[in-house]
Amino acid sequence: MINKRLLGLISDSKKYIGLNVLFNFMALISNIAIMVILAYIISEVFNNNGISFYLWIALVAFIALKYLFNVISSKMSYLSSREVKMTLRELIFKKLLKIGPSYNEKIMTSEIVQLASEGVDQLEVYFASYVPQLFYALLAPIILSLVLSFISLPVALVLFACIPLIPISIALVQTWAKRLLGKYWQRYSSLGDSFLENLEGLVTLKIYNADEYRQKLMNEEAEEFRRVTMKVLIMQLNSITIMDIVAYGGAALGIIIGLNGFINGSIDLFGILLIIFLGADYFIPMRQLGSFFHVATNGMAASEKIFKLLDLEIEDNEGLKDVAFDNDVIIKDLSFAYEDKKVLTDIDLVIKNKAITALVGESGSGKSTIASLLSLFNVYEEGSIRIGGIELKDIDFNEAMKHIAVLNHNSYIFKGSIRDNLLMACKDVDDEKMWEVLNKVKLGDFLKTMNGLDTLVEEGGSNLSGGQRQRLALARMLLKKSDLYIFDEATSNIDVESEAIIMEQIKKLKDEAGVLLIAHRLASVIDASDIYVMDNGRICESGSFDELMTLKGNFYKMYETQKELEGSIV
């Protein structure tokens, strides 16, 4: 019923929970005092006796105290849950940063969003209400029974005997609840994932007229989610009904025994009034615990998923810093597999500093995988990638990222201004420098007709053309002075003019850094100092353009075929 790991997560939470229980307990004592005074006043009025003025003052004082203690305990609830929410969200965020760009191979984006928002919110009830209530609900019946035992021992004993029935009923539904809530969260995140995917792919779905079909699939998923939600509600309502029967049945039983004592004279009017007042309150803490329990179990089911994310084993890349990157990158005997699917075998490749190295080959031959290993998006186990004799995977990720820049065919443009997008690459760059790179990629004239650097860009750069988007991404890349530039199909899917502009900049970059150029259009690699040809995860040929053409191997065949297809362009 208590999750030690959750409690251990926040050092201050125990303090706030303790204080919460303490102030709840003081509110209970004030409440007992109020009931005692009220029962006494009523019995005195009934017996036609006068009521002392001080008694009224005491009554008002205890009511005020009870209010004050309740306010303080609510404050403690707030403090403990605030800490928890902040700490957990921070932990999730840090973990994601640590996992890095390939996080969605391990966990779905929508699941993270749901866990970090609603999942963490559900835990608020666990810390702010459930855990303090658990202690308070154990304490309150003992105190109340003790007070009632002075009036009537049988009543105190009967009420006390009913108390364990509530935790027993909670424990009985717990295994069921845990399984059901696990399923609930699974369906919830998978529905969220489908929703996100359909939203992202909406244009494609419309083009292929497939939106209706996808909607049908999502409706089915939504229906399953509705069903599991209903099951959760049924489980919660059933268990609350059982608790209500125990609570109100127990209170009624205690009061009936008390009334019996009143009739046969063993309990006086004050005594029976106190039994009725306190009897009605007797089960409330346990009953509340039951209600909190359901929300808390939901939070705990979410916390299990959160811990699963936090526990993902990530290679600690607390690696080397101050590495000189202005060196050749030497790849030797590099092999790599996604899970158990081997996609690279014994790769030997050198990316010379201040030169263009091209990587070509059939689709699926492993080119982007090499790029992803070079930019540490994936981590290699077999073979080596060395820069100036230092193993790339031993270098601190953030440090390496200062020296490596990647441009692929779908580089992301963020919502905001052109300036915002450029500042991402280099924080302390002035307007002049920004215009310089924008002119290099021939976006300057276009932006001058708009709002200059303050021109607003929509999410994903959707108000720019494909070519403009890619040229803006290149401008951003140029601002980030790097030692290794990786272009992975950076010019695919764009207009010829944009392609020429980008290629011109790539050629210039070789004067200051190493460039890896992955390209399908073989005409664009003619000037590369070395061309590596990949086939099915292996390097099958390498050399300069002329050498490969003389070799008349794979490259030659691919080049000739492309030339034929593209006609006069090549």
Ligand X SMILES: Nc1ncnc2c1ncn2[C@@H]1O[C@H](COP(=O)(O)OP(=O)(O)OP(=O)(O)O)[C@@H](O)[C@H]1O
Nearest distance in Å: CB 198, ligand X: 21
Check residue 449 for interaction with ligand X (CB under 6 A): no
Q: Which does 369 bind (CB under 5 to 8 A by kind): ligand X, Mg ion, none?
A: ligand X
Instruction: Identify which range of 51-59, 151-159, 257-265, 336-344 contacts ligand X by CB under 6 A.
Output: 336-344
Q: Looking at beta carbons only, is 116 or 407 nearer to ligand X?
A: 407
Q: Which residue, judged by CB position, is nearest to Mg ion in the bound state?
A: 368
Instruction: Identify which range of 208-216, 224-232, 364-372, 393-401 contacts Mg ion by CB under 5 A.
Output: 364-372
Instruction: Give the residue from 312, 127, 189 showing the smallest Cα distance to 181.
Output: 189
SS3 530: strand
Instruction: Give the residue from 25, 23, 120 showing the smallest Cα distance to 77.
Output: 23
Nearest distance in Å: CB 362, Mg ion: 11
Nearest distance in Å: CB 207, ligand X: 21
Phi and psi at residue 344, to the nearest 5°: -130, 135
Q: Which does 365 bind (CB under 5 to 8 A by kind): ligand X, Mg ion, none?
A: ligand X
Q: Which does 363 bind (CB under 5 to 8 A by kind): ligand X, Mg ion, none?
A: ligand X
Going along 301-437, which residue ranges are E strands? 329-338, 341-351, 355-361, 382-387, 390-391, 404-408, 416-417
* Residue numbers 169-208 binding ligand X by CB under 6 A: none
The string over 476-486, giving b where at least 16 C-beta atoms fall within 10 Å of a residue's C-beta and e elsewhere, is: bbbbbebbbbb
Q: Looking at beta carbons only, is 27 or 486 nearer to Mg ion?
A: 486
Instruction: Identify which range of 112-120, 365-373, 377-385, 561-569 contacts Mg ion by CB under 5 A.
Output: 365-373
CB 506 within 8 A of CB 526: no
Instruction: Identify which range of 19-27, 258-266, 320-328, 337-345 contacts ligand X by CB under 6 A.
Output: 337-345
Binding mask 338-367 for ligand X (x = CB under 6 A): x--x-x-----------------x-xxxxx
Binding mask 367-406 for ligand X (x = CB under 6 A): xxx-------------------------------------
Nearest distance in Å: CB 116, Mg ion: 31
Q: Please tell me the distance from the alpha carbon of residue 69 to that of residue 443, in angstroms, as a whole number.
A: 65
The crossing angle, in degrees rounded to 10, of helices 13-46 and 53-99 is 160
Instruction: Give the residue from 66, 124, 140, 73 showing the smallest Cα distance to 288.
Output: 140
* Residue numbers 482-501 binding ligand X by CB under 6 A: none
Nearest distance in Å: CB 419, ligand X: 32
Judged by CB under 5 A, the number of residues near Mg ion is: 1
Nearest distance in Å: CB 310, ligand X: 23
Judged by CB under 6 A, the number of residues near ligand X is: 12
Distances, alpha carbon 439 to alpha carbons 362, 432, 435, in Å: 34, 10, 6
Q: Looking at beta carbons only, is 357 or 368 nearer to Mg ion?
A: 368
SS3 172: helix
Nearest distance in Å: CB 460, Mg ion: 20
Could you say which of 368, 372, 375, 542 contacts Mg ion (CB under 5 A)? 368
Q: Please tell me the distance from the alpha carbon of residue 400 to that of residue 354, in angstroms, as a whole number.
A: 18
Nearest distance in Å: CB 362, ligand X: 7
Where helices occur in 480-519 by DSSP H, the ranges are 496-509
Q: Looking at beta carbons only, is 351 or 475 nearer to ligand X?
A: 351
Q: Looking at beta carbons only, is 164 or 364 nearer to ligand X?
A: 364
- Pairing status of strand 404-408 against strand 484-488: parallel
Phi and psi at residue 378, to the nearest 5°: -125, 155
Q: Looking at beta carbons only, is 101 or 416 nearer to ligand X?
A: 101
SS3 341: strand
Nearest distance in Å: CB 367, Mg ion: 5
Q: Looking at beta carbons only, is 319 or 361 nearer to ligand X?
A: 361
Q: If you ran DSSP here, which 8-state letter would residue 317 be given?
A: -
100 dihedral zone (left: phi>0; alpha: psi -120 to 50; beta): left
Q: Which does 341 bind (CB under 5 to 8 A by kind): Mg ion, ligand X, none?
A: ligand X
* Residue numbers 87-116 binding ligand X by CB under 6 A: 105
The string over 296-323, giving b where at least 16 C-beta atoms fall within 10 Å of a residue's C-beta and e elsewhere, is: bbbbbbbbbbbbebeeeeeeebebeeeb
Nearest distance in Å: CB 461, Mg ion: 21
SS3 365: coil
Residues 6 or more apart in contact with residue 567 via CB below 8 angstroms: none
Binding mask 320-339 for Mg ion (x = CB under 5 A): --------------------
Instruction: Give the residue from 406, 401, 424, 427 showing the smallest Cα distance to 323.
Output: 401
Residue 551 CA, chain-centre distance (Å), reads: 52
Nearest distance in Å: CB 341, ligand X: 5
Q: Looking at beta carbons only, is 5 or 342 nearer to ligand X?
A: 342
Sheet containing 329-338, strands listed edge to edge, beginning at the edge strand earlier in sequence: 341-351, 329-338, 382-387, 390-391
Instruction: Identify which range of 110-118, 366-374, 452-460, 553-561 contacts Mg ion by CB under 5 A.
Output: 366-374
Q: Looking at beta carbons only, is 77 or 372 nearer to Mg ion?
A: 372
CB 195 within 8 A of CB 219: no
Nearest distance in Å: CB 535, Mg ion: 14
Q: Which does 338 bind (CB under 5 to 8 A by kind): Mg ion, ligand X, none?
A: ligand X
Nearest distance in Å: CB 343, ligand X: 4
Residues at the contact surface with Mg ion, assessed by CB under 5 A? 368
Residues at the contact surface with ligand X, assessed by CB under 6 A? 105, 338, 341, 343, 361, 363-369
